């Protein structure tokens, strides 16, 4: 394909994606009938594929993927990698157990934020006993860094509300890009908050967001760990990441925090975006099941390779 037509194709794809993320009805042309269709529903699925050994498969093509909605294979109309801007909801644990690690965490966060593209936007949330929005979406990463540098720790660990509040914020905002929630915590909850795992999964999927978890060291004596194990209703973070297509980055040593944070950002930036038009409507009022896999020539999903993608979606 010559450069001219390649640029035309790329522009067309980005135009459709821009329309989707700004709320403008998507316009699609049927080449067989020569007519324009309005108000079609475009479903976008962010996807990461890894080999059995855990290596990222970064050179895949559109024809290598298969997407099924409620068991029915869909025709992929959109395929890109790192073309869309990111909307990152950074959710930071400020409970007592994080105190000894807050300094290195600040440094790592500043380094990782610098790796984002200028058009990427970040919103900052914190939680201890309560969860709150500290900085609304902005592409000025220095605002986020300045806010983080002034934080102090204290209180319980209400991870449930931390994730839920961020997902709700994304759900209620205009869709301006690929939505990602990054939870930074030692993952030892001491307060179950007001939402359970099922509600958190539902809210996150409804917001079309992916949850990533940077699990950092925390100061948790045996008495704290035992008490946390006895609290009912604490969010199952692994389940939320799996159902939304995210990952857990487990940092055992604070010396590796900076590298892990940068690796997480790179992982987010290099996901494939797959898109298709669905016949589903909001009037149905139900979630739709998604299954993303590679063509049969790549072997068996879950055995020869691993796909990280959300397993369902809602029509808004």
pLDDT of res. 281:
80
Q: What is the mean pLDDT of residues 185-206?
A: 93
Q: What is the pTM of this model?
A: 0.83
* 61-118: pLDDT as tens digits: 999 999 999 999 999 999 988 777 899 999 999 998 888 888 888 888 888 888 888 9
No. of helices (H) and no. of strands (E), the chain: 8, 15
pLDDT at 28 over 50: no
Largest CA distance in the chain: 69
**Segments making up each domain of the chain, as ranges:** 3-82+270-313, 86-269
- pLDDT band at residue 51, thresholds of 50, 70 and 90? very high
Label residues 145-176 b or e (16+ Cβ within 10 Å = b).
Answer: beebeeeebeebbbbbbbbbbbbbbbbeeebb
- Where does the pLDDT of residue 40 fall: very low under 50, low under 70, confident under 90, or very high at 90 and above? low
Q: Where are the beta strands (DSSP E) in 97-250?
A: 121-127, 131-138, 178-185, 209-215, 248-250
pLDDT digits (tens, 9 = 90+) for 206-217: 898 999 999 988
From the candidate CATH numbers 2.102.10.10, 3.40.50.410, 3.40.50.2000, 3.40.50.720, the one assigned to the domain spanning 86-269 = 3.40.50.410
Q: What DSSP letter does each residue of 94-108 carry, written as one string?
A: -SGGGGGGHHHHHHH
Query: Would you state the pLDDT for residue 196?
Result: 93
Centre a 10 Å sphere on the Cβ of residue 122 and count the other Cβ atoms it contains: 24
Where residue 159 falls among pLDDT bands split at 50, 70, 90? very high
Q: What is the pLDDT of residues 242-289, one digit of tens each?
A: 999 999 999 988 888 888 988 898 888 888 999 999 988 876 777 899
Mean pLDDT score of the chain: 84
Per-residue pLDDT for 38 more than 80? no
């Amino acid at each position: 394909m010559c450069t001219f037509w390649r640029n035309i194709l790329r522009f067309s794809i980005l135009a459709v994606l821009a329309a989707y993320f700004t709320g403008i009805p998507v316009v699609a042309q049927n080449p067989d009938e020569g007519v324009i269709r309005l108000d079609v529903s475009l479903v976008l699925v962010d996807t990461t594929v890894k080999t059995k050994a855990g290596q990222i498969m970064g050179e895949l093509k559109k024809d290598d993927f298969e997407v099924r909605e409620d068991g029915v294979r869909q025709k992929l109309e959109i395929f890109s990698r790192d073309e869309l801007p990111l909307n990152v909801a950074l959710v930071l644990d400020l409970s007592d157990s994080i105190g000894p690690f807050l300094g290195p965490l600040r440094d790592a966060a500043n380094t990782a934020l610098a790796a984002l593209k200028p058009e990427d936007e970040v919103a900052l949330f914190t939680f201890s006993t309560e969860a709150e929005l500290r900085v609304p979406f902005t592409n000025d990463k220095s605002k986020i860094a300045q806010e983080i540098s002034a934080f102090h720790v204290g209180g319980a660990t209400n991870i449930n509300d931390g994730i839920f509040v961020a997902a709700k914020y994304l759900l209620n905002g205009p869709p301006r890009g690929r939505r990602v929630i990054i939870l930074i915590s030692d993952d030892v909850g001491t307060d179950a908050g007001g939402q359970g795992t099922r509600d958190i999964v539902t809210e996150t999927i409804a917001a079309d967001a992916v949850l990533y978890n940077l699990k950092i060291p925390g100061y948790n004596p045996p008495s704290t760990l035992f008490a946390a194990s006895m609290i009912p209703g604490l969010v199952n973070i692994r389940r939320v990441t799996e159902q939304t297509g995210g990952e857990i980055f487990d940092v055992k040593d604070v010396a590796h925090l900076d590298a892990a944070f940068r690796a997480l950002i790179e992982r987010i930036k290099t996901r494939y975006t797959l898109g298709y038009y669905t016949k589903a409507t909001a009037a149905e009022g139900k979630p739709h099941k998604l299954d993303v896999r590679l063509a049969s020539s790549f072997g068996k999903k879950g055995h020869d390779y691993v796909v990280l993608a959300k397993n369902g979606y809602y029509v808004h």
